[in-house]
């Protein structure tokens, strides 16, 4: 007989949170702390979404994600989780670019990027400052039609080596292209450029285990192996979900499934204004990651190569080459 992963679950919750990625877990934790009854439904056997890990023989624990994130993670952990978690976030200072156009080391923050742009690439300080100011001022409410490529051409005309330095890490991270809106680049880039790239000391598994402990302490009902199949809506109001074939009532749903799945599959286009659905259909989901994991046998060692290595054989920056299955570019995370 198949195991009932919803055994003991209530028939009603104030809120059902779909997906236990970092956003889902943080939302569930905050809602529970505010006194709401919360069901956190996760289809996978592990919590964490993309921020997860797996184990292999020989004692290797391999992180799937969280190789690097912005400094803002410290504030987020302190505000929505615990100071202990926030204090475990450390900066990665050994980041190396190696490609046919340049080879540089950086701490990946605004000060060091500015230094490299001036000393290595010969860019004037006022141009650099203006570029950072423009990128940092962008937000999703701007009516900005400029593409990332046009942004680079404006500040660094014809300097494809500079474009590569500024763009390649972002493409590795989320599949962005030069044809995407400049504001999507500006927001991500300025987040990292504030104070550098950070990671969680001890590994993703330790972070997620600490989060799970905190969720349970605050009364969140955590359910793994539970697939949300439908969000029930009546008279424009959410009134429940179907999980593993079982209907559970609720007053609200917070979905951390991707936007297209949430709208088209879980809720259904007929429950939304056609104009909203039309806008949703314009959304492109980026996923550029194909990861290979290598564990070093106990007693073996490799020469120090930094924390992150952006390596490429391509002559110049090319989004299609980075995203192509015929690999020319690779990112290495060492931990």
Q: Is 335 exposed, middle or buried (0-12, 13-18, 19+ CB in 10 A)?
A: middle
Amino acid 225: pLDDT: 97
Amino acid 140: pLDDT: 67
For residues 136 and 190, give the distance between their C-alpha atoms in angstroms, rounded to a whole number: 5
Amino acid 83: pLDDT: 96
pLDDT average per 10 residues of sequence, the chain (335 residues): 91 98 96 98 93 82 79 93 96 92 93 95 96 84 81 96 91 80 83 83 92 98 98 96 98 95 96 96 73 80 86 86 77 82
Amino acid 292: pLDDT: 78
Q: What domains are there in the chain, each with its CATH number?
A: 12-66+203-280 (3.50.50.60), 90-199+286-333 (no CATH)
Q: Where are the alpha helices (DSSP H) in 16-159?
A: 22-33, 72-80, 83-86, 110-119, 125-137, 148-155
């Amino acid at each position: 007989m198949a195991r009932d992963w919803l055994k003991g679950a209530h028939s009603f919750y104030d809120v059902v949170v779909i997906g236990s990625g970092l956003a889902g877990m943080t939302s569930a934790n905050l809602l529970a702390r505010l006194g709401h009854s919360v069901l956190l439904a996760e289809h996978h056997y592990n919590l964490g979404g993309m921020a997860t890990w797996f184990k292999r023989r020989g004692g290797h624990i391999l992180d799937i994600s969280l190789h690097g994130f912005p400094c803002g993670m410290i504030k987020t952990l302190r505000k929505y989780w615990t100071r202990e978690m926030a204090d475990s976030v450390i900066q990665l200072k050994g980041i190396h670019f190696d490609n046919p156009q340049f080879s540089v080391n950086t701490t990946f923050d605004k000060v060091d990027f500015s230094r490299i742009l001036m000393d290595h690439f010969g860019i004037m300080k006022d141009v650099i400052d203006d570029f950072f100011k423009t990128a940092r001022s962008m937000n999703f409410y701007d009516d900005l039609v400029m593409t990332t490529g046009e942004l680079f051409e404006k500040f660094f005309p014809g300097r494809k080596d500079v474009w590569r330095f500024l763009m390649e890490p972002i493409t590795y991270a989320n599949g962005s292209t030069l044809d995407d809106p400049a504001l999507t680049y500006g927001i991500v880039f300025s987040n990292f450029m504030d104070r550098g790239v950070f990671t969680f000391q001890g590994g993703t598994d330790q972070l997620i285990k600490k989060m799970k402990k905190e969720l349970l302490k605050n009364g969140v009902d955590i359910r793994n192996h539970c697939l949300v199949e439908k969000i029930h809506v009546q008279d424009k109001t959410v009134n429940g979900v179907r999980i593993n074939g079982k209907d559970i009532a609720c007053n609200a749903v917070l979905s951390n499934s991707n936007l297209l799945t949430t709208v088209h599959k879980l809720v259904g286009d007929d429950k939304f204004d056609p104009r909203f659905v039309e806008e949703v259909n314009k959304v492109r989901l980026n996923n550029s990651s194909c990861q290979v994991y290598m564990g070093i046998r106990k007693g073996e060692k490799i020469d120090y190569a930094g924390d992150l290595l952006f390596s490429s054989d391509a002559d110049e920056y090319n989004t299609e080459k980075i995203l192509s299955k015929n690999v020319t570019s690779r990112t290495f995370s060492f931990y």
